Structures are given as structure tokens and as C-alpha cells.
């Protein structure tokens, strides 16, 4: 019998446009693995809004933590957090910001969250279909408040998107999702949601947990404005708990 030849040896992983014999796009699967190794982000939809929390994972002592950004403002009413290759995420975040501004200039109104998510998902999908470029190695959580209320979406590296009540991405995705599935409730307030997210991260990261590494933001349905969670508030939260 001839030895089994791996898909890698046969070259099926050299292009994102080439299907393997069993119907897989290996470059896309590799991009998914990159996301699973990225720093953690989570999002929670609450009764009065939606929030994002992310671990900045400062790996060098001399880095200024404030220079690392994991939660971004897209428009007044939309925020996002990227997990995976953040250089890919930066390009997509800036594209989303541009789309939001173009919508305001063209239609004199704020873009709805779903339309923005679809545009970014379409861009991601294009890079799995055309040769000469690799897939984006990043998944993005989009949190927004519009006429549909508070919303949370995930755009996958494949170009597909899903809407969630609460979810997590990155290296701690599985244990964080397990905690959210047990403890999430639709009547949570923003404040309770922040406490839930921080406690979940504390349980998962254990001794490595550091409140100074957490970046976060929230949007309330009352004013539909993106607001960063202050470090003072997070430190106060740590003392209470």
C-alpha cells in the first residue's frame, strides 16, 4: 500500500481558492486557528444596551498599556472588538469607520448595525474566493444600538456572520461561553453585564487576570452613544468583588 499523502504535501493549503478532495479550504481553517489563539473578547446584550470587554494581554513590561487598543468606536452608535491578527482587524475596523461616515454623508443618517456587518462580512468572504490574497485572520465583534435595539454580531473569517445575545472569541472562547450560557439572563443591566464579564474573565484567567489589561465599552439604548468603560470604574469593581 502507498503511504497516505497529507493535504499539505499535496499543496491544497497553498491557496485559499483551492478545495481539498474532502471539500475543505485549508487556508480558511488556518485563519480560524489564528483567531482561536488571539486575545480574548466578549460581548453581552443587556436589557438597556450592549457591551464589549477585551483582554489587551500586555506582554512586555515597557509597553504603555494605553497604547494598546482592543475596543474601537466605529460610529456614535456602534463599537467593535477584534480577535486574531490585529493588523488585519485594524484594516477592517478602518473600513467599517469609513462606511459609517459615507452613509452619514450620503443619506444624512446613521448606518444600521446589520448593514455595516454585512459589508465587512462581504469583504472577508471575497478574500476566501479570489487568488493572490490570504483570508483575514481575524474575527470581529460588532455591538450597536439602532432602531432594532441593542445588537451583537460576530463576523467570522469565512465571511459569515451571526447575531448573539452573548458570546466570546479568542483563546478563552470555550470556557467563557460555558460561563455565559449558565449565567446570562436577558434582564441584565449594563452594570450587571460588566460584572458578569469581569467575573467570567477572572474565573478563566485565574492568577493571570489583571484588571489593568481589560479594555471595554458600552452603548445604552437611552442615548445610543459609544462610551468607553473607565479604568477607575474597573478598579472600583475589582475592590467591590
Q: Which of the two residues, 92 and 28, has the higher pLDDT score?
A: 92
Residue with cell 445575545: 165
What does the alpha-carbon distance between residue 224 and residue 73 come to, in Å, rounded to a whole number? 12
Residue 52 has pLDDT above 90, yes or no: yes
> Domain map of the chain by residue range?
35-240
Across 15-19, 96-100, 109-113, 229-233, least confident range? 15-19
pLDDT value at residue 221: 96
Superfamily of domain 35-240: Aminohydrolase, N-terminal nucleophile (Ntn) domain (3.60.20.10)
| Residue indicated by cell numbers 493549503 | 13
pTM reported for the whole predicted model: 0.91
The pLDDT of residue 8: 57
Provide the mean pLDDT of the chain.
90
Instruction: Tell me: pLDDT of 2 over 50.
Output: no
Is the pLDDT assigned to residue 35 strictly greater than 90? Answer: yes
Higher pLDDT, 197 or 67: 197
Give residue-wise pLDDT tens across range 165-179: 999 999 999 999 999
pLDDT at 14 over 90: no
Bridge partners, 217 (sequence order) = 52, 228
Q: Is the model more confident about 236 or about 179?
A: 179
Of the spans 2-16, 120-134, 153-167, which averages the highest pLDDT? 153-167
Residue 113 zone, left/alpha/beta (φ > 0; ψ -120 to 50; rest): alpha
Residue with more model confidence, 132 or 146: 146
Residues 6+ apart with CB under 8 A from 136: 31, 85, 88, 91, 92, 123, 124, 127, 157
Region 88-94: mean pLDDT is: 96
Positions annotated as catalytic residues are 39
Average pLDDT over residues 113-124: 97
Check pLDDT > 90 for residue 64: no
Query: H or E stretch including 82?
Result: strand 78-84
pLDDT of the residue at 18: 82
Collect contacts of 174-177 with beta carbons under 8 A, ≥24 apart. Answer: 175/203, 175/204, 176/40, 176/42, 176/200, 176/201, 176/204
Asked if residues 161 and 153 have their Cβ atoms less than 8 Å apart, the reply is yes
What is the pLDDT averaged over residues 38-49? Answer: 96
Amino acid at each position: 500500500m502507498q503511504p497516505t499523502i497529507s493535504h499539505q504535501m499535496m499543496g491544497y493549503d497553498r491557496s485559499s481558492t483551492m478545495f481539498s478532495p474532502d471539500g475543505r479550504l485549508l487556508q480558511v481553517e488556518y485563519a480560524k486557528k489564528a483567531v482561536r489563539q488571539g486575545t480574548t473578547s466578549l460581548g453581552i446584550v443587556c436589557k438597556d444596551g450592549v457591551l464589549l470587554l477585551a483582554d489587551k494581554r500586555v506582554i512586555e513590561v515597557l509597553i504603555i498599556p494605553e497604547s494598546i487598543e482592543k475596543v474601537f468606536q466605529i460610529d456614535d452608535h456602534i463599537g467593535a472588538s477584534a480577535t486574531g491578527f490585529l493588523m488585519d482587524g485594524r484594516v477592517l475596523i478602518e473600513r467599517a469607520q469609513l462606511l459609517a461616515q459615507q452613509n452619514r454623508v450620503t443619506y444624512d443618517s446613521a448606518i444600521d448595525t446589520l448593514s455595516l456587518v454585512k459589508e465587512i462580512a462581504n469583504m472577508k468572504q471575497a478574500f476566501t474566493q479570489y487568488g493572490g490574497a490570504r483570508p483575514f485572520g481575524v474575527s470581529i465583534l460588532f455591538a450597536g444600538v439602532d432602531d432594532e435595539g441593542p445588537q451583537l454580531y460576530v463576523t467570522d473569517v469565512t465571511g459569515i456572520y451571526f447575531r448573539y445575545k452573548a458570546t466570546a472569541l479568542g483563546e478563552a472562547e470555550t470556557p467563557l461561553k460555558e460561563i455565559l450560557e449558565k449565567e446570562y439572563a436577558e434582564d441584565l443591566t449594563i452594570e450587571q453585564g460588566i460584572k458578569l464579564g469581569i467575573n467570567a474573565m477572572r474565573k478563566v484567567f485565574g492568577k493571570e487576570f489583571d484588571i489593568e489589561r481589560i479594555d471595554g465599552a458600552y452603548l445604552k439604548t437611552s442615548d445610543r452613544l459609544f462610551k468607553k468603560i473607565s479604568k477607575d470604574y474597573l478598579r472600583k469593581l475589582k475592590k467591590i468583588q
